[in-house]
C-alpha cells in the first residue's frame, strides 16, 4: 500500500491526542491551575483535531468529507468521524468547566475517556477489518493502535502533569506497546495473500484450468490502483526502518525515562521522550502501509 503522508500524520497525531484526552478524562493529575489546564487540554485536543484535518487531504474531495458521517451503519470511517466529533465536543465542555471552576466532573470525564478510546479503536478497525490486506486483518491491529496512543499520550501528558512516578508508568506503557507491535510484526511477516485465499486463480475464477500467469500488464503506465495499492519496499530498507522505529519510538524514550528516574533530571525531559516516540511512530506507521499487500496487486503479476 502507498504510505500517504497525510494518513501517517493523522493516525500518529490523533492517536497521541486522543491518548492524552483519555488520560485527562480519567483524572490524570495536572498541577498549575487554569493556565496549565488550558495548555494540556489545548495540546491533546489540538493533536486530535490536527490529525483529523490531515486525514481529509487524502480524500479526492475533502469538501465532501462530511458526507461520510451518514454511512455509520456499515463504515468504520464514518463511525470514527462520529466518535471523534462527539468526543471533542464533550472534551471541550469538560476542559472549559475544569479551567473555570478548577474541578473536573468524574462522570463527564469518564464519557470523554470512553469516547477517546472508542475513536482510536474505530480508526484501527478501518484497517483491521480489511480482508483484502492479510497483514492488517488481525485483532492485534486495534491493540497496537490503542497501545501506541496510550503510550505517546502518557508521555505528553506527563510533561505537563504532576503524576507520581510518571517515568515508571511511561516505561511500562511504552514497553508493552512495542511488545504488542513486535508480535504484530511477527504475525504480519507470516501473512500472505495466498493464506487468506486470494490468488490470481481465485481472482478470475479460472483456477480449475491450472496455474494462472500474467501475459501482459493491462496498461503500460501507472494508474490509481498501482500508485495506491501496489507499493513495493525492499527487505533491507524495511529492516532499517524497523530499527529506527524501535530506537526512536521505544528504546530512546525508555532510556530518557530511566535517566530521569535514576538521576533526578528535570521531568521536562519527558517531553523529549514523547517527541522521540512520535518520531519513531511516524516510521512505524510508514512501514504499516508500505509493507501491506493488497489483493488487487494480484492483477499486476504480484504473487
Task: List all residues 6 or more positions away from 100 whose beta carbon is below 8 Å from its beta carbon.
Answer: 34
The residue with greater pLDDT, 63 or 296, is 296
The CA-based dihedral angle spanning residues 231, 49, 177, 161, taken in that order and rounded to the nearest 10 degrees: 150
pLDDT of 233: 64
Mean pLDDT of 133-146: 91
pLDDT of 94: 95
pLDDT of 18: 96
Q: Return the DSSP state at 59.
A: S
How crowded is residue 201: how many other Cβ atoms within 10 Å of its Cβ?
A: 16
CATH class of 5-300: mainly alpha
Model confidence band, residue 268 (pLDDT cutoffs 50, 70, 90): confident
Contact 63, 76 (CB under 8 A): no
The residue with greater pLDDT, 65 or 154, is 154
SS3 content of the chain, % helix, strand, coil (to 5): 75, 0, 25
Greatest Cα-to-Cα distance within the chain, rounded to the nearest angstrom: 74
The residue with greater pLDDT, 109 or 269, is 109
Mean pLDDT of 286-300: 77
pLDDT of 292: 78
Sign of the C-alpha dihedral computed for residues 139, 145, 146 and 147 taken in this order: positive
Separation of alpha carbons 229 and 198, rounded Å: 15
* Grid cell at residue 235: 527487505
Highest mean pLDDT among 220-224, 233-237, 283-287: 283-287
Task: List all residues 6 or more positions away from 34 whose beta carbon is below 8 Å from its beta carbon.
Answer: 99, 100, 102
Q: How far out from the chain centre does Cα 279 lie?
A: 13
How crowded is residue 4: how many other Cβ atoms within 10 Å of its Cβ?
A: 16
For 120-139, how does the pLDDT look when each residue is reduced to its tens digit (9 = 90+)? 999 999 999 888 888 888 89
**Residue 77: what are its φ and ψ, rounded to 5°?**
-65, -40
Angle, to 10 degrees, between the axis of helix 140-160 and the axis of helix 5-25?
A: 60
Identify the weakest region by mean pLDDT among 207-216, 219-228, 230-239, 252-261.
219-228
Amino acid at each position: 500500500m502507498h504510505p500517504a503522508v497525510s494518513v501517517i500524520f493523522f493516525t500518529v497525531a490523533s492517536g497521541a491526542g486522543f491518548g492524552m484526552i483519555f488520560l485527562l478524562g480519567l483524572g490524570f493529575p495536572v498541577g498549575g491551575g487554569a493556565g496549565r489546564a488550558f495548555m494540556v487540554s489545548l495540546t491533546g485536543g489540538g493533536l486530535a483535531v490536527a490529525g483529523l484535518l490531515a486525514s481529509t487531504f487524502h480524500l479526492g474531495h475533502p469538501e465532501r468529507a462530511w458526507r461520510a458521517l451518514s454511512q455509520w451503519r456499515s463504515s468504520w470511517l464514518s463511525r470514527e468521524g462520529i466518535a471523534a466529533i462527539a468526543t471533542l465536543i464533550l472534551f471541550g465542555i469538560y476542559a472549559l468547566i475544569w479551567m473555570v471552576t478548577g474541578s473536573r466532573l468524574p462522570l463527564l470525564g469518564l464519557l470523554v475517556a470512553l469516547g477517546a478510546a472508542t475513536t482510536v479503536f474505530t480508526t484501527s478497525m478501518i484497517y483491521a477489518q480489511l480482508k483484502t490486506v492479510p497483514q492488517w486483518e488481525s485483532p492485534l491491529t486495534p491493540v497496537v493502535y490503542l497501545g501506541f496512543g496510550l503510550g505517546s499520550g502518557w508521555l505528553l501528558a506527563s510533561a505537563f502533569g504532576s503524576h507520581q512516578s510518571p517515568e515508571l508508568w511511561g516505561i511500562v506503557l511504552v514497553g508493552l506497546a512495542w511488545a504488542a507491535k513486535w508480535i504484530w510484526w511477527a504475525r504480519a511477516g507470516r501473512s500472505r495473500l495466498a493464506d487468506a485465499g486470494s490468488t490470481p486463480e481465485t481472482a478470475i475464477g479460472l483456477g480449475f484450468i491450472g496455474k494462472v500467469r500474467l501475459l501482459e500488464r493491462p496498461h503500460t503506465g501507472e494508474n490509481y490502483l498501482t500508485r495506491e495499492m501496489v507499493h513495493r519496499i525492499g527487505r533491507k530498507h524495511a529492516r532499517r526502518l524497523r530499527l529506527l522505529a524501535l530506537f526512536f519510538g521505544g528504546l530512546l524514550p525508555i532510556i530518557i525515562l530511566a535517566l530521569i528516574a535514576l538521576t533526578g533530571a528535570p521531568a521536562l525531559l519527558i517531553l523529549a521522550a514523547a517527541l522521540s516516540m512520535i518520531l519513531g511512530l511516524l516510521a512505524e506507521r510508514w512501514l504499516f502501509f508500505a509493507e501491506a499487500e493488497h489483493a488487487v496487486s494480484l492483477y499486476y503479476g504480484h504473487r
